Amino acid sequence: MPIPATAAAVHRTLAREDVYRTIKQWIVALQLAPDELIRDQDIAERLGVSRTPVREALRRLEDEGLVVTRFHKWTKVAPAAMAEAAQLYPVVAALEASAVELALPHLTAADLARLAALNAALALAIDGADVAPSALLDRAFHALLVRRSGNQELARLLATLLPRIERIELAHFGNQPVARQSVREHAAIIDALQLGDGASAAAIMKKNWLW
């Protein structure tokens, strides 16, 4: 799958971070397919930058598990194997369960109302078979709890792991809508948080990732 032809040139003063984000988005969205060879020169030309920020971005993405290299031979997009997802899910489940318990003391009434609104919108999107909005609403629900945890290390780890899961699910399942079971579990998480029961909310969050 070729580099997207519509890619805009990157402003040079922001090249490093913008190049990294652009290539990462191409990989997560499968615009660069699993196992596809990557040529840094091609990407540099497409984005209108030198090869240096491209190489730096690819090294970061290799550290994050989205790119694989063989020294002086090739650079490829990492495979999207379900075996990898099976290893990632329990880790993410544990991290997000911790996030829920850490978030509980910091959640406001407005936060809980926002979680309920996101979940209601998610239910409507699922009923309407709106795939992309369903995924965005589900991510927004989880992201709010991670932010309220106040733990930057936890957030950093999840920011590395979640794109890997998103890409694998997209590759194997065609980005199917979030299951209605997830809506029910989200509602149960909100109920537990309203009661101040962090342990129950964390247990339901684990189930939400592992069912």
Would you state the pLDDT for residue 3?
A: 67
CATH 1.10.10.10 fits 82-210, yes or no: no
pLDDT of 90-106, one tens digit each? 999 999 999 999 999 99
Residue 58 burial (C-beta neighbours within 10 Å; 0-12, 13-18, 19+): buried
Predicted confidence at residue 186, as pLDDT, reads 97
Helix, strand, coil share of the chain (percent; to 5)? 70, 5, 25
Structure confidence by residue, pLDDT tens digits, 103-133? 999 999 999 999 999 999 999 988 887 777 8
The answer to whether 202 touches 97, Cβ cutoff 8 Å, is yes
Q: Is the dihedral of CA 145, 150, 154, 156 positive or negative?
A: positive
Q: What is the CB-side half-sphere exposure of residue 115 using CA atoms within 13 A?
A: 28
What are the residue ranges in the chain where pLDDT is below 50? Answer: 174-175, 177
Q: What pLDDT is attached to residue 81?
A: 86
Residues 9 and 47: beta-carbon distance below 8 Å: yes
Domain boundary assignment for the chain: 12-77, 82-210
CATH number of 12-77: 1.10.10.10, 2.60.40.1290, 3.20.20.70, 3.40.47.10? 1.10.10.10
The pLDDT, as a whole number, for residue 167 is 87
